Chains A and B, each alone.
Chain A
Amino acid sequence: MKIIDRTLTTLDSILPNGKLLINLCEKLAECGVDFIEISVPVLLAIGIDNLPKNVNYILHIHSLDEHYAFPQLTRFSCSCCTEENYNQMITQFQVNDIREIQKLRNFQSKNINARIIGLDDIIMHDYRYYFKILQNIFGNNLDICPQNKYGCATAIAVEWAISGGKSVSASYSGIGGFAPLEEVIVALRIKTRRKPNKNLKTLCEIKDIYTKITHSVIPRNKPVLGEGIFVVEAGIHTDGISKNPLTYEPYDPTIIGENRSIVIGKHSGTKSIQMKLAENNIPTSKKEIPSLLKAVQKEITQLGRSLKDEEFLQLYMEVKAHEKEKISD
């Protein structure tokens, strides 16, 4: 399964400096992307001679003639070329309503490399049937670039791979309304063992470059990238993870260069408290835990949120001091 990253076709309106773009290309190449697709403005900002060499590029152009201006590149994508035998050209078709798929039969006898963009609502239908129709029309020369209007683009990309699709397009964090690249890469790793030994730590390293370029904030619960996705609070989950992390984690966070952590909150129990204290190298006896847990729950109810580490430790000191006082009384 080939993955084409389209992030660098979506940045024309916020074009950053070439150095950041080069850095982004290098990192994308490291995380298992087979092709990086770039726009002409991005290419010009980087400078064609400065393109990192360890990856293949596709240049997105707006007219067929434009490709003559870039003889150093060998692959192009375009919405306007339906001519046959342009082996280096990917021809794009926008399909936002699955009924439009039937109209593509006109291209069945043509030898073109096609990309279907859209298919937003295909999950609501018999998607495997429609995938088959598309495969019959375009054979193996077909790239699917699902759009994310209904939050189903990753699922469409994964199902396309499972159905025998050979190429899928995505973009980092789903910028431009495409399938989020990081979700597609991790899902294909888990579900189809695509590139099982690839180092995916760069997926999270790209976050800094991406936020610098786009000035956007990645939500804490964003799949794969969110900083809160490996934070555990609930007692039942902390207990499970302490016995075997697999119980409540879909994959080992270190695969993507992250670590799990515990926060103390409304749903924390004895085990969470014990683990949090151990994390801070504080030895405890079982006797201390119930009064600390009680104090923690009282504080959380008042604050209406989980405790920061320093708040928890402060509370621990207070409870311990109080217990000492009781003993000396």
Chain B
Amino acid sequence: MKKKKYLIDTTLRDGEQSPGFAFDCSTKTKIATELDKLGIYQIEAGIPAIGKSEKESILKIMENRKNSRISVWNRMNVSDIKHSMDCMPDIIHISAPVSYVQIYSKLKKNKVWLINTLEQCIDFAQSREYTVSVGLEDASRSDITFVNTIIKMLASYGVELVRYADTVGVLTPSQAECVVKEMLTASNISIEIHAHNDLGMAVANSISAARAGVDYIDCTLFGIGERAGNCNLTHFLSASSQCFDFGFSLSKAKAVEQNLRELIIGGGI
């Protein structure tokens, strides 16, 4: 029997973040409706903090969805989370940069600050009865001991799902396997793999992580996303459907991609 796995589609967040893409409300809603009909477990619908039109799109997606859970992306601050609450999503996803280059160079903070701020954000969202998932941004370049410290803290807060993000796409399949096993040893929290394709290994890294015990896999339609893109939904299904059950078939996913081709990539990427 094939093992059950769950797909999280981030076309409307990380996919749209790719330079050149700017989906309007009607486009976002149509994409989300198709993904919802397909049976995608979770749709990452966007970033409410961008502004009014993004919030309107997400509200419309919430209104139309029938099956999928809708999540929205937030930087690690209460202001972003308040914007998200205006959209009443199913899940508030908070992204926490965890590599040293992100903490010390970008945020210009330290690990203690990061953990305290993340705790405050989780607390704020949970106190308003939202389900929270946390993304460990740039996790593939971070210290695994620090990652494990964070996921233990997240487990203590009752966070059910943590995203391991290979933000700059430098993971290899053997590394993916190794870190997933370490994380699963440290905590029984569910893990989601978020792979980028900078070295052409997003699909292989996602497969390797799934084989090692990850139950949630992030994908985008046509593999669109920052720089060289994310894990391509149909490529991933094509490679892994022989081993995993995603609740829908590759042919159905290809049909959805075909329906949305003109809308998303027009003549090509």
- B211 to chain A minimum Cβ distance, whole angstroms, is 7
Q: How many residues of B contact A (CB 8 A)?
A: 55
Bound-state Cα–Cα, A114 to B200, Å? 26
Q: Complex: how many Å from CA A266 to CA B169?
A: 23
| Interface: A326 (CB within 8 A) | no
Task: Tell me, rounded to whole Å, the shortest Cβ–Cβ distance linking A187 to chain B.
Answer: 4
Residues A230 and B207 in contact in the complex (CB < 8 Å), given A221-B269, A304-B22: no
With a cutoff of 8 Å between Cβ atoms, the chain A residues found around residue B268 in the complex are 217, 219
Contact B22 A240 (CB under 8 A): no
Per the bound structure, the CA–CA distance linking A6 and B86 in Å amounts to 55
CA distance A1 to B227 in the complex (A): 28
| Residue B201 lies at the interface, judged by CB distance under 8 Å to chain A | yes
Q: Which of B23, B27, B167, B205 contacts A248 (CB 8 A)?
A: B167
Please determine whether B207 and A223 come into contact, CB atoms closer than 8 angstroms: no
A267 to B139, CA, bound (A): 23
Stretch in contact with the other chain, from A10-18, A21-29, A74-82, A120-128: A120-128
B92, chain A: closest CB distance, angstroms = 17
Query: Which listed residue (A229, A237, A246, A266) contacts B198, Cβ 8 A?
Result: A229
Give the distance in Å from the alpha carbon of A304 to the alpha carbon of B22 in the complex: 5
Binary flags per residue of A297-310, CB closer than 8 Å to B gives 1, else 0? 10011011110000
Q: How far is the CA of A124 from the CA of B204 in the complex (A)?
A: 8
- Contacting pair A234 B226 (CB below 8 A): yes
Q: How many residues from A make CB contacts under 8 Å with B? A: 57
| Inter-subunit contact A151/B106 (CB<8 Å) | no
- CB pair A236–B75 under 8 Å, yes or no, is yes
Set of chain B residues within 8 Å of A297, measured between Cβ atoms: 51
Contact assessment for B106 and A243 in the assembled complex, using a CB-CB cutoff below 8 Å: yes
**Does the CB pair A229–B168 fall under 8 Å?**
no
Residues of chain B within 8 A of A223, CB atoms compared:
169, 197-200, 228
Q: Is the CB of B197 within 8 A of A231?
A: no
**Contact present for B170 and A249 (CB under 8 Å):** no
Chain A CB within 10 A, most for which of B75, B168, B242:
B168
B173 at the interface (CB under 8 A from A): yes
Interface presence of A140 (CB below 8 A):
no
Q: Is the CB of B226 within 8 A of A237?
A: yes
Q: Which residue of A lies closest to B239 (CB)?
A: A150
Q: List 17 A-B contacts (CB under 8 A).
A: A124-B242, A150-B203, A151-B235, A152-B204, A155-B205, A159-B172, A221-B197, A222-B228, A223-B200, A228-B19, A231-B19, A234-B17, A237-B226, A247-B105, A247-B106, A265-B20, A305-B20
Residues on B lying within 8 angstroms of A by beta carbon are 16-24, 27, 47, 50-51, 53, 75, 101-102, 105-106, 108, 138, 167-170, 172-174, 197-201, 203-205, 207-208, 211, 223-229, 232, 235, 238-240, 242-243, 268-269
